[in-house]
């Protein structure tokens, strides 16, 4: 019973991550499960639902078809929908029930593609891993649709693709536009944005970039796939905080013209004693949290900052950068209690209702949905420094 959440919420699920990553790209995306799961996604986790059309559906899995494992019904419905809507691609994923009965979505995808001739992807989601896993798989699949890289004819500014952008991490508050403008001010030519505020045709031309910038854990799998397929190096980091932004810009310039090995955050090792007695605990998306920790360190002199990312399905590469994976509610409560200050989504304050003053709220759509959507700050560039100064006035 220790795994039961009594006061906390859960992060957006992996099947919702698939839908979020592919929402704007003209594909047919189907969640295989009982009717109702799509309403959880569109009412809580998808801020684009009411002002942007997308072919996101639920299969309406029935008890009878689940018991008898009738995948033919799903395949037939997918083919029928493809003939009606003519999508650019098809993606099918599932929730907990198809996972329990062992639905093979890759086999389903192959059968659908044979019948309709449209690129089709099957993702073995389970509705229990986090959105990072599902969205990461979805973006990685798009790399397989990209044509072979042409001869590099780029001249002038280095071209950068931005990987790992969805409303689950970046909301709809202008952060993506600010990120593009910042890179352009630093002298880069921004190529594609995976996958928010862009279209599929543009994404499929991403192989002509000099370097990829991974701004959230969602973009890691696509970055690794493009490095393997096209030799495009990548840098992991969110340009948030003045000094962090300068460092990332320098790394992008070097990777654009030099060796082909990717660069990661140089995460400082911390002893268990330092972690247990952290001045500041950060809970949330790991790449953003790393940028906050580095800014606190280099710009404000804050030591002993601990990062916890309580998501299922985090890439090992992210964990190696200095993020801890703590999921049990009791352990999260202990971590919050031992820290002087906690930067986290407002829902985490439920852990210590008598100590709400120690919490510095940083809403995260992937965690609290649209409840605090209007309070999500833009942290790109020097905006992070100003947010820290305002949020932690008198505590630094």
Q: Give domain status of residue 266, yes or no.
A: no
What's 31's domain CATH number?
3.40.50.1980
Q: Which residue has the higher pLDDT, 34 or 251?
A: 251
Is the pLDDT at 323 greater than 80, yes or no?
A: yes
User: In whole angstroms, what is the distance from residue 285 CA to residue 289 CA?
Assistant: 6
Mean pLDDT of the chain: 89
Please report the pLDDT score of residue 382 as a whole number: 96
Is the pLDDT at 338 greater than 70, yes or no?
A: yes
Q: Give domain status of residue 167, yes or no.
A: yes
Q: Give domain status of residue 75, yes or no.
A: yes
Q: How confident is the model at residue 261 (pLDDT cuts 50, 70, 90)?
A: low
pTM of the model: 0.91
- When mean pLDDT is compared across 69-73, 98-102, 256-260, 382-386, the lowest value belongs to 256-260
Q: Give domain status of residue 66, yes or no.
A: yes
Q: Which residue has the higher pLDDT, 396 or 343?
A: 343
Q: Give domain status of residue 263, yes or no.
A: no
The predicted model gives 11-17 an average pLDDT of 94
Q: Which of 129, 147, 168 is the last residue of a domain?
A: 129
Q: For residues 18 and 125, state if they share a domain.
A: yes
Q: How confident is the model at residue 359 (pLDDT cuts 50, 70, 90)?
A: very high
Q: Which of 257, 285, 302 is the last residue of a domain?
A: 257
The predicted model gives 153-159 an average pLDDT of 66
What's 383's domain CATH number?
3.40.50
Q: Which residue has the higher pLDDT, 51 or 138?
A: 138
Sheet harboring 120-122: ordered strands across? Answer: 55-58, 28-32, 90-94, 120-122
Is the pLDDT at 266 greater than 50, yes or no?
A: no
Total domain count, the chain: 3
Residue 280 pairs in a beta bridge with 305, 341
Please report the pLDDT score of residue 65 as a whole number: 80
Other Cβ atoms closer than 10 A to 96: 16
Please report the pLDDT score of residue 267 as a whole number: 43
Q: Which of 224, 257, 290 is the last residue of a domain?
A: 257
Q: How confident is the model at residue 30 (pLDDT cuts 50, 70, 90)?
A: very high
Q: For residues 72 and 164, state if they share a domain.
A: no
Please report the pLDDT score of residue 272 as a whole number: 44
Q: How confident is the model at residue 265 (pLDDT cuts 50, 70, 90)?
A: low
Q: Give domain status of residue 387, yes or no.
A: yes
Model pLDDT for residues 173-229, shown as the tens digit of each residue: 999 999 999 999 999 999 999 999 999 999 999 999 999 999 999 999 999 999 999
Phi, psi of 356 (to 5 degrees): -60, -25
Q: For residues 282 and 253, state if they share a domain.
A: no
Other Cβ atoms closer than 10 A to 128: 15
Please report the pLDDT score of residue 304 as a whole number: 87
Is the pLDDT at 274 greater than 70, yes or no?
A: no
The answer, yes or no, to whether the previous bond of 195 is cis (omega within 30 of 0) is yes
Quote the domain boundaries for residue 74: 14-129
Model pLDDT for residues 92-119, shown as the tens digit of each residue: 999 998 998 889 999 999 999 999 999 9
Residue 98 to residues 35, 69, 70, Cα–Cα distance (Å):
13, 9, 11
- CA 345 from chain centre, in angstroms, equals 16
Q: Give domain status of residue 196, yes or no.
A: yes
Please report the pLDDT score of residue 148 as a whole number: 81
Q: Give domain status of residue 153, yes or no.
A: no
Secondary structure of the chain as H, E, C letters: CCCCCCCCCCCCEHHHHHHHHHCCCCCEEEEECCCCHHHHHHHHHCCCCCCCCCEEEECCCCHHHHHHCCHHHHHHHHHHHHHHHCCCCEEEEECHHHHHHCCCHHHHHHHHHHHHCCCEEECCCCCCCEHHHHHHHHHHHHHCCCCCCCCCCCCCCCEEEEECCCHHHHCCCCHHHHHHHHHHHCCCEEEEEECCCCCHHHHCCHHHCCEEEECCHHHHHHHHHHHHHHCCCEEECCCECHHHHHHHHHHHHHHHHCCCCCECCCCCCCCHHHHHCCCEEEECCHHHHHHHHHHHHHHHCCCCEEEECCCCCCCHHHHCCCCECCCCHHHHHHHHHHCCEEEECHHHHHHCHHHHHHEEECCCHHHHCCCCHHHCCCCCECHHHHHHHHHCCCCC
Q: How confident is the model at residue 264 (pLDDT cuts 50, 70, 90)?
A: low
Length of the chain: 396
CA angle at residue 315 from 200 to 288, to 5 degrees? Answer: 75
CA angle at residue 22 from 21 to 26, to 5 degrees? Answer: 155
Q: How confident is the model at residue 310 (pLDDT cuts 50, 70, 90)?
A: very high
Q: For residues 26 and 100, state if they share a domain.
A: yes
Q: Which residue has the higher pLDDT, 119 or 42?
A: 119
Please report the pLDDT score of residue 268 as a whole number: 47
Left if phi > 0, otherwise alpha if psi is -120 to 50, otherwise beta: which for 102? left
């Amino acid at each position: 019973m220790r795994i039961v959440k009594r006061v906390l919420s859960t992060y957006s699920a992996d099947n919702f991550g698939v839908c979020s990553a592919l929402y704007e790209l003209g594909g047919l995306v189907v969640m295989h499960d009982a009717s109702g799961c799509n309403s959880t996604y569109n009412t809580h986790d998808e801020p684009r639902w009411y002002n942007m059309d997308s072919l996101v559906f639920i299969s309406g899995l029935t008890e009878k078809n689940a018991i008898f494992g009738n995948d033919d019904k799903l395949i037939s419905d997918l083919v029928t929908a493809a003939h009606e809507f003519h999508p650019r691609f098809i993606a099918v994923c599932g929730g907990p029930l198809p996972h329990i009965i062992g639905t093979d979505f890759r086999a389903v995808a192959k059968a659908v593609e044979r019948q309709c001739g449209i690129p089709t992807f099957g993702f073995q989601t389970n509705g229990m891993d986090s959105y990072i896993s599902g969205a990461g798989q979805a973006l990685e699949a798009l790399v397989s649709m990209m044509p072979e890289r042409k001869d590099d004819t780029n001249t002038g500014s280095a071209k950068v693709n931005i990987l790992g952008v969805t409303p689950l991490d970046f909301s709809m508050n202008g952060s993506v536009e600010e990120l593009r403008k910042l890179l352009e001010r630093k002298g880069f030519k921004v190529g594609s944005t995976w996958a928010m505020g862009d279209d599929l045709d543009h994404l499929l031309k991403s192989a002509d970039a000099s370097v990829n910038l991974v701004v959230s854990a969602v973009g890691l799998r696509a970055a690794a796939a493009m490095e393997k397929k096209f030799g495009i190096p990548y840098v992991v980091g969110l340009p948030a905080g003045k000094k962090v932004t300068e460092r990332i810009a320098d790394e992008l310039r070097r990777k654009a013209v030099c060796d082909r090995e990717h660069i990661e955050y140089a995460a400082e090792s911390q002893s268990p004693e330092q972690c247990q007695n952290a001045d500041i605990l950060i809970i949330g998306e790991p790449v953003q949290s790393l940028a906050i920790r580095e800014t606190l360190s280099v710009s404000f002199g804050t030591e002993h900052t601990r990062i916890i990312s309580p998501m299922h399905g985090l890439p090992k590469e992210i964990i190696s950068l200095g993020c801890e994976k703590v999921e049990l509610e009791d352990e999260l409560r202990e971590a919050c209690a031992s820290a002087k200050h906690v930067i986290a989504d407002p829902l985490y304050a439920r852990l210590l209702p008598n100590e709400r003053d120690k919490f510095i709220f940083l809403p995260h759509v992937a965690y609290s949905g649209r409840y605090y959507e209007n309070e999500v700050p833009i942290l790109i560039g020097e905006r992070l420094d100003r947010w820290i100064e305002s949020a932690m006035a008198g505590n630094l």
